[in-house]
Structure 1
Amino acid sequence: MDNYSYDFFTEFEKEFESIKSKNSSIIKKCHAVIAFIEQELQELFSWLKKYKFNTPEEEIHFFKIIKPSIVAKLIYYKEILNIESNLPASKKNKIKHYEKSLNKIHKHSKSNKQFFEYYRARASHNDQLYFIRSNSRNILHDDCIYINYDSKLSTSHDYLIATMIAYDTLTTYLENRIEELETNCSIIHPSNDNLLNWSGSKVDLVELVYSLHHTKSFNNGNSDIKEIAAYFSKMFNIEIEESIYRSYLDIKARKIDRTKFLTQLSDTLNHKINEEEK
């Protein structure tokens, strides 16, 4: 990838994180992030219309990895804005509202199961069909927002990847919101003065705790899972100890990627390393 795109993505991530940190209200945050991403995408697509990729591999990398990572953020925050803007008043109806969104995600995942399995398996044998613009076909109009109307800007499957990434993150958000409502406990360890607060979901942390436990990463495997959970709860100001077994059952019940947070960690780090080596 050329210097422009590398600088673009570096600055994009910095500004994106800055905007998120400046807005405490979820609605205000969504509006600010959406406006920023839409503006940045217009600039990126102006460059994309003129840029000629040097190799098919470079084009595949852009449409399989780079573009979806940005578009996924836009999809995610638009979904959050729609969900939270229409949130009912009662606790019971809020839970139903979130569960309805989870059901929508489940149906989408089920209808695209074959491709999602291809992507999550890190397969590449169909990449030239899916992520080269000259091969774009079968793009459903209903699946495309304004950023996907131009064949110069899209392939047949890059938006589908972006949707999958966004829905993975959205699932975690919704599960966490439901858990908070059901337990009436969203305030955590106010007396702890640690500077590091876990800003991901509880389920993500439970996934990490179980992976560390089963790899015997603490005390040569002689630590109890509840001990580890209690330690992480205290250190990162988030209560997971009481609900850890239930969260683990939820993880086991996932149909597509049971360890999606660990997959995200691996994909993000590998992407960062690959970008730094270019």
Structure 2
Amino acid sequence: MEFSLHNILFEIEKRENKLFPNSSISIDDAFEMTSYLQELLALAKSHIVKHGFKDEYKEIYFFRHIKPQILGKLIFYNKVCRIETGCPVKMGTVYKKYFASHLRNLKEEYSEHFCHSDFYRYYRSGRTDKDQQYFRLGKIDYHDGLNSFVFEIDPNFSTYYDYKVARIIANELLYNFLVVKIKSQGEGELTFQTLDETKNILWSDSKNALIELIYALHAARVISNGNVGIRQIALIFRVVFRMPLTDMHHAFHRMKTRAGSRTTFLDKLKKSLEEYMDQDL
């Protein structure tokens, strides 16, 4: 496998788009992604241990954005393999209850380990003022009462908190996966995925453009008076357009810091609508 730290996230997304063009993840595809990401993580570790980082910015970026994406998706696809291989039946009430039980476990884990932690709030808010503490090698403070597995991590390839980000990413992906599974089996409920008349309705712009639109709708509070979260809005678009929406939080973070306009797609929409209006004048 060829390895490039610069293009690593793009290569992961390209592999996912090839395997899951309709957002449906089979056991074989999940296993293939697990093997692929495991090898990718080993190559990244070998590269970092051998070459290190040119500066602290690249080090922080790797442990905040790149490694957590690899490890988070590795955790997610491995979990999908375990869940799918343990599924008792393919249809019916037992099937729905099986996935609902996994969703309850996920919510309990979130409540116990994430939602009340200072780091989770720091990470979710997009703050960067403590990145030197959280995402650089050799900066672990053992007085903070960290989980015991911190003593088992490789100090040359982990900052402890990169693993916590990976778990956040994995849990978000797993949440979306389980919700889709449960919704697709709703009694008397037809989802967009089952309607033949919508099979040719596809999102034809970039995934980042759709994520920009989703965050704009959420920020404007135009859906259910703002009482619907990002996950729920994303799920609607994911089902309608059969498009995997992974890495939404990191994609949005990159939008906030990109050069030029931070709202490229919304600017494009505004211009297109104004030009369309002018046609009738």
What TM-score range do you get, normalising by the shorter chain?
0.5 to 0.7
Distance in 1 (alpha carbons) for counterparts of 2:79 and 2:162 = 18
Q: Which amino acid aligns with 1:27?
A: I
Other-structure match for 1:191: 197
**Corresponding position: 1:267 with 2:269:** no
Other-structure match for 1:126: 130
Residue 80 of structure 1 and its aligned partner are, at CA, apart by 1.1
Contact preservation (8 Å) 1:68, 1:158: yes
Change (3 A) 1:266 1:7: closer
Distance in 2 (alpha carbons) for counterparts of 1:10 and 1:125 = 27
1:27-42 alignment, distance < 5 Å: 27-42=27-42
Other-structure match for 2:184: 180
Name which structure has the greater RCO, CA cutoff 8 Å, separation 6+.
Answer: 2
**Corresponding position: 1:136 with 2:140:** yes
Q: Any idea what SS the aligned residue of 2:17 has?
A: helix
Other-structure match for 1:105: 106
Change (3 A) 1:37 1:265: closer
- Specify every segment of 5 or more residues in structure 2 that has no aligned partner in the other structure, as ranges: 205-209, 235-245, 261-281
Q: CA RMSD in A?
A: 4.0
Q: Which amino acid aligns with 2:114?
A: N
Q: Any idea what SS the aligned residue of 2:195 has?
A: coil
Q: Any idea what SS the aligned residue of 1:134 has?
A: coil
1:131-172 deviations in whole A, cap 9, x for unaligned?
A: 11111355635699xxx8422111111111111111112112
Q: Any idea what SS the aligned residue of 1:182 has?
A: coil
Other-structure match for 2:164: 160
Residue 22 of structure 1 and its aligned partner are, at CA, apart by 10
- Residue in structure 2 matching 1:211, options 189, 198, 217: 217
1:215-271 deviations in whole A, cap 9, x for unaligned?
A: 77xxxxxxxx7xxxxxxxxxxxxxxxxxxxxxx69x947xxxx32467954631553
Residue 38 of structure 1 and its aligned partner are, at CA, apart by 0.9
Distance in 2 (alpha carbons) for counterparts of 1:117 and 1:26 = 34
- Specify every segment of 5 or more residues in structure 1 that has no aligned partner in the other structure, as ranges: 199-203, 217-224, 226-247
Distance in 2 (alpha carbons) for counterparts of 1:264 and 1:178 = 22
Contact preservation (8 Å) 2:68, 2:162: yes
Q: Which amino acid aligns with 1:5?
A: L
Other-structure match for 1:82: 82
Other-structure match for 2:48: 48
Residue 8 of structure 1 and its aligned partner are, at CA, apart by 3.8
Q: Percent of counterpart pairs with the same letter?
A: 21
Distance in 1 (alpha carbons) for counterparts of 2:247 and 2:9 = 18
Q: Which amino acid aligns with 1:259?
A: I
Distance in 2 (alpha carbons) for counterparts of 1:178 and 1:22 = 17
Distance in 1 (alpha carbons) for counterparts of 2:136 and 2:215 = 39
Residue 77 of structure 1 and its aligned partner are, at CA, apart by 0.8
Other-structure match for 1:63: 63
Change (3 A) 1:195 1:178: closer
TM-score, normalized by length of structure 2?
A: 0.66
Change (3 A) 1:22 1:36: farther
